[in-house]
């Protein structure tokens, strides 16, 4: 069976106060993206060491943009943005690291695939508080982009557990969540709700 993955994205305010939540939910998420644009390399490394301290596996940690930090700390990989180093350069010099790319169009997706990206994040799919002035991409655009590439595509942006079902009907490889977990009154229950949808989608595909 093809697994559907759940990526959790940090919200720019990652600190040790999030550690109890992550310790509780670590078995129910597939990857944690450390997306902290304002933090220095030292601060990022301190955060990763704190995660190691609670038993969070490095094999589940992806660092946004900072290839140096991901390499030095032996994390699973990096997530690249439009301003980051190109995918081909990362894959050439760090072939063992997973390399994801955030894309916003079919053209960007195809280019990232050609350069050797392992997976893509695409969005935002639905209305999102983090991008209130931007028009959502929607499901039709998501489906078109997924059909244009052969590598995994994870949808992001405004995804609730209920909306996740529609995402997975487009054959997305999974979902990436930020506020739906961090801002939930009960993060563990929120994660389990997302995980339930992912498991159901995997089962339905093979029944």
Rounded CA separation 21/31 (Å):
14
Percent of the chain with pLDDT strictly greater than 70: 96
Q: Is the dihedral of CA 57, 17, 177, 101 positive or negative?
A: negative
Rounded CA separation 63/14 (Å):
13
Question: Which pLDDT score, from 0 to 100, does residue 46 have?
Answer: 97
Q: What is the mean pLDDT of residues 39-51?
A: 97
pLDDT digits (tens, 9 = 90+) for 79-125: 999 999 999 999 999 999 999 999 999 999 999 999 999 999 999 99
Q: Using alpha carbons, list the distances in angstroms from residue 143 to 60, 71, 112, 206.
A: 27, 33, 17, 20
Rounded CA separation 170/144 (Å):
9
Q: Is the dihedral of CA 53, 59, 60, 65 positive or negative?
A: positive
Active site residue 124: yes
Rounded CA separation 159/25 (Å):
18
pLDDT-based confidence at 3, cuts 50/70/90?
confident
Is residue 159 pLDDT above 90, yes or no? yes
Taking a C-beta distance cutoff of 8 angstroms, is the pair 197, 191 a contact?
Answer: no
Taking a C-beta distance cutoff of 8 angstroms, is the pair 93, 73 a contact?
Answer: no
Q: For residue 147, count other CB atoms closer than 10 A to its CB.
A: 12
pLDDT digits (tens, 9 = 90+) for 65-80: 999 999 999 999 999 9
* Predicted structure pTM score: 0.94
């Amino acid at each position: 069976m093809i697994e559907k993955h759940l990526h959790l994205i940090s919200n720019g305010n990652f600190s040790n106060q999030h550690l109890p939540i992550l310790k509780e939910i670590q078995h129910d998420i597939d990857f944690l993206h450390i997306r902290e644009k304002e933090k220095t390399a030292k601060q990022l490394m301190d955060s990763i060491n704190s995660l190691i301290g609670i038993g969070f596996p490095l094999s589940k940690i992806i660092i946004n943009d900072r290839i140096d930090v991901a390499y030095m700390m032996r994390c699973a990989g990096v997530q690249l943005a439009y301003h980051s180093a190109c995918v081909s350069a990362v894959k050439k010099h760090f072939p063992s690291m997973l390399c994801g790319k955030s894309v916003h169009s079919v053209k960007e997706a195809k280019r990232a695939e050609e350069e050797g990206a392992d997976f893509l994040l695409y969005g935002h799919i639905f209305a999102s508080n983090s991008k209130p002035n931007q028009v959502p991409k929607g499901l039709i655009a998501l489906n078109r982009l997924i059909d244009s590439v052969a590598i995994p595509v994870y949808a992001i942006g405004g995804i609730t557990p209920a909306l996740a079902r529609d995402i997975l009907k487009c054959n997305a490889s999974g979902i990436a969540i930020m506020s739906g977990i961090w801002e939930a009154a009960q993060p563990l229950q929120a994660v389990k709700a997302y995980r339930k949808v992912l498991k159901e989608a995997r089962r339905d595909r093979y029944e």
